Amino acid sequence: MKNLLFLLFLAIGLTTYAQVAINTDGSLPDNSAMLDVKSTAKGFLPPRMTTAQRNAIVSPATGLVVFDTDINSLFIRTSSTWVQLGTANAWGLTGNAGTSASTNFIGTTDNKDVIFRRNNERSGYIGLINTSFGINALNPSNTGVNNSAIGKQALYSNTNGFNNTAVGNQALSYNTAGSYNTANGAIALAYNTTGALNTAIGYQALYLNTSGNSNTGIGTQALYANTTGSGNTACGPSALFNNTTGNNNTAIGINALLSNTTGCFNTASGMQALMSNTSGNYNLADGQFALGNNTTGSDNVATGLSALSSNTSGTNNVAVGNQALSSNTTGIYNTASGFRSMYSNTSGNYNSAHGYGALINNLTGSYNTASGLDALSLSSTGDYNTASGTFASYYTNSSNNTCMGFSAGDYYAFSNGTFLGTLAYPTATGFSNCMALGYDAKVNASNKVVIGNTSITSIGGYAGWTTFPSDRRYKKNISANVPGLEFIKLLKPVTYTLDIASINAILDKNKPTVQREGEKRHEKTAEEIAAIAEKEKVVYSGFIAQDVEQAAKQIGYQFSGVDAPKNDDAQYGLRYSDFVVPLVKSIQEQQAMIEDLRNQNQEQQAMMIEMKNQNLDLIKRIEKLETK
């Protein structure tokens, strides 16, 4: 009965109003609606069917609505196709809940690209071959393949470049045909057009690169000005900032290779390493400020804080150690290894220094070799010196010296000297052409050679000593005026012992007492003290040099066997080999005397024989007379 009344009411309403209102409160339909359904407890249920059934509807009317039970979504019919209105879990503008990662998504279910817009400008694109996110990211014509762009105008101009990745505002924005590029950072690789295989990470990294290839810039403005240079690697803010056409450079650190423009094959590691280099090639700098001022110098190696930091155009230098060759500007072919080795060198060439402070004060000296702590430390302008050993040739600032051993050639300045052995050195300043050979050997005059120290008791070899020259061609003013017996008879042979302790006191009396950094004052060992004591017991046979000198003066003989001291601290010496000559002369004089005596004896013997014969004749005559 109720159903009949409802149908009757519905029929009257349809006829009377041409509108339908379905409700429980008897209200009329809204003027804008043909069907007005109102309820606070129930909903509107459209027709439900499978996808196959939906697609089987014959000539579906435009606007027809059904619920697809396979997809769980409403569909509305347009003039030509079904359009999905939503799912059971529709995405909302204020967030969603109850979604399933396996079935819920934003995107297409057919082979169509996804496009996002902002203010009706393309702001995102997910395609089969390219992907972008950001206003005008990637060329709207969508040319080129396998490109990814994230950021405003990233890869904006790309036409046929492929395999590019741009992340950041205007990253790779001018790229047209360049491929295999990666730009991560605002305006990174912004002007690249055809360059390939580049990687830029950081704000304005590789900013001006156009056609350079195989570059890597990591850091704000790394490789900023590079245009066509290739094979460069820059890691650090402003690293290789000004490089334009230079190739195959590597810069790691803030401002490393900052000024390089055309230089090639350089490697800089450390803040401001090779910072000023413009066109120098084949340089290696490892350390903060290493080769920092180099501009055109090439083939240099600097490892350590401020190593070769002042070098401008010097070439073929090697500096290993903090501040090694730090002041070098134009010097070439120098090698310095050790903290502050060759620190002050500016234009000296062909030097080698190994050890802390070696050749530390050298300025312009060349062809020097120093190995050891503070070796050749005070040399500034000397040339052709060789010093090997801690403090070797420490005070010398002259040329042509060779010193090998701990403190060899130490304590005093000299020239043209040779000191071989630990603590072999001169006893005062200013000697020239001198040599000391052996442990603790000391020379006390110019033009003098000393072998061994005061403890030596024997010096020898397996051949006799040869004196050069002894060639008539090189001897002048030859005169046979060597005295013999006259000189020899004045000599006073004696026996004696040596006061070694007093000799050593004289040799060491001027030795500096201020110790240098790292220096340990040498003290004689127990063995040395015992050796000195034993030597002081030895009884020697010989002459007193002053006596020999007096004897020679007495007869006016310029005897070369006396080595008179050249200064107050030197000692008298004798060249015993020189005594051979007056001894030979004395033997010759004795032999002449012997010959004279022999001749006189022979004459006397002849006279005696004659007298004997005369006596015999006389006896015979007497015998004859007696017979008669």
Q: What is the pLDDT of residues 319-375, one digit of tens each?
A: 999 999 999 999 999 999 999 999 999 999 999 999 999 999 999 999 999 999 999
Mean pLDDT of 209-236: 96
Length of the chain: 628
Q: Give yes or no for residue 477 having a pLDDT over 70.
A: yes
Token duo for residue 372? 């050891």
Mean pLDDT of 445-456: 94
Distance separating alpha carbons of residues 227 and 242, to the nearest angstrom: 10
Q: Give yes or no for residue 86 having a pLDDT over 70.
A: no
Q: Within 10 A of 609 (CB to CB), how many other CB atoms are there? A: 10
Q: In this predicted structure, what is the pLDDT of residue 92?
A: 67
Q: Across all residues in the chain, what is the average pLDDT?
A: 91
Mean pLDDT of 580-598: 93
Q: In this predicted structure, what is the pLDDT of residue 513?
A: 73
Q: In this predicted structure, what is the pLDDT of residue 516?
A: 82
Mean pLDDT of 426-440: 96
pLDDT (tens digit per residue) in 545-580: 999 999 999 999 999 999 999 888 888 999 999 999
User: What letters, b where the CB count within 10 A reaches 16 and e where it falls short, cover 558-594?
Assistant: ebebbbeeeeeebeeebeeebbebbbebbeeeeeeee
Q: Give yes or no for residue 130 having a pLDDT over 80.
A: yes
Q: Give yes or no for residue 2 having a pLDDT over 50.
A: no
What percent of the chain lies above the pLDDT cut of 90? Answer: 74
Q: In this predicted structure, what is the pLDDT of residue 225?
A: 96
Give the residue, 434 or 94, on which the prediction is more confident: 434
How far is C-alpha 580 from the geometric centre of its chain's CA atoms? Answer: 61
Architecture of the 45-85 domain: Ribbon (2.10)
Out of 51-55, 130-134, 196-200, 465-469, pick the least confident.
465-469
Whether the Cβ atoms of residue 442 and residue 450 lie closer than 8 Å to each other: yes
Q: Give yes or no for residue 16 having a pLDDT over 70.
A: no
Q: Within 10 A of 331 (CB to CB), how many other CB atoms are there? A: 29
